[in-house]
């Protein structure tokens, strides 16, 4: 079964990378609890920049969380970064017992 993802409102869904069928965007008006519940009920991995989801991922499971800790990047730079790192992110998500993947500009961390 392929992985499916829910983009938190703090990430722009306009990137071509996110325009694939495995990605959906959370409505802007959803609070963190609603995003979490929806992702859990629909077996989605949350993709975010929000530290609140990191804290939830470490306390509760599922869903898994991918948290970008890259700071502000220009869209073009972020797109190139995604193209370079996304497959590695997926590999880490597939490892047993991984609840959280923190994505930094120069490395990944898992928890």
Average pLDDT, the chain: 91
93 pLDDT above the threshold of 90: yes
pLDDT digits (tens, 9 = 90+) for 49-60: 999 999 999 998
3-class state of residue 67 by DSSP: strand
77 pLDDT above the threshold of 80: yes
DSSP state of 38: H
Sorting pLDDT into bands at 50, 70 and 90, what band is 35?
A: very high
pTM, two decimals, is: 0.92
Asked if 88 and 77 count as a contact pair (C-beta separation under 8 A), the reply is no
In this predicted structure, what is the pLDDT of residue 60?
85
């Amino acid at each position: 079964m392929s992985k499916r993802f829910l983009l938190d409102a703090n990430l722009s869904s306009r990137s071509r990378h996110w325009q694939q069928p495995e990605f959906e965007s959370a409505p802007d008006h959803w609070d963190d609890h609603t995003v979490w519940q929806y992702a859990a009920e629909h077996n989605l991995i949350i993709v975010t920049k929000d530290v609140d989801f990191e804290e939830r991922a470490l306390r509760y499971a599922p869903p898994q969380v991918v948290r970008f800790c890259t700071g502000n990047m220009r869209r073009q730079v972020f797109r190139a970064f995604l193209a370079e790192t996304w497959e590695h992110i997926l590999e880490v998500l597939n490892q047993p017992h991984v609840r959280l993947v923190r994505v930094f500009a120069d490395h990944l961390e898992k928890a």
